[in-house]
Amino acid sequence: MKKYNITVNENTYEVEVEEVGVGSEVRTSRESKPSPAPAPKAQPKPQPKKAAPAPKPAPVGAETVNAPMPGTVVDVKVNEGDTVAEGDVLLILEAMKMENEIMAPRAGKVAAINTSKGASVSSGDPLISLE
């Protein structure tokens, strides 16, 4: 019999394994008892996600494109002052491990960009204003 410590879901168990013969199955004891847990390893501190910058006031008559769902801005494809056509990709929003293209609802000029690459946004947050 050989004794091993096995860790499953941060719980450590002591198990005994009997080697039956060459080419035979290895059996484990059905009863296992938790052994003292090892000291936890130091984990690196997670980097906080960037919050979206405060929205700029939209110019009079401008249409604001809002986030359709919570997520993280992966890329901003336009700059302030750019002219866009209806259906042009304004930015890429990652939500639920999928990249979603946020498109211009109409043709116009980009008046303001209210987010940045890497920013975390909530549903309904203003992303881009079109004149």
- What is the residue-wise DSSP string for 89-119? EEEEEEETTEEEEEE-SSSEEEEEE---TTE
- Check pLDDT > 80 for residue 13: yes
Looking at the chain, how many residues does it have?
A: 131
The CATH fold of domain 63-130:
OB fold (Dihydrolipoamide Acetyltransferase, E2P) (2.40.50)
Q: What is the pLDDT of residues 42-83, one digit of tens each?
A: 666 666 655 555 555 666 678 999 999 999 999 999 999 999
Q: Are strands 33-34 and 50-51 parallel, antiparallel or unpaired?
A: unpaired
* Confidence (pLDDT) at 123: 92
Domain locations in the chain?
63-130
Q: Are strands 98-103 and 89-95 parallel, antiparallel or unpaired?
A: antiparallel
pTM > 0.85: no
H or E, element range at 19: strand 11-19
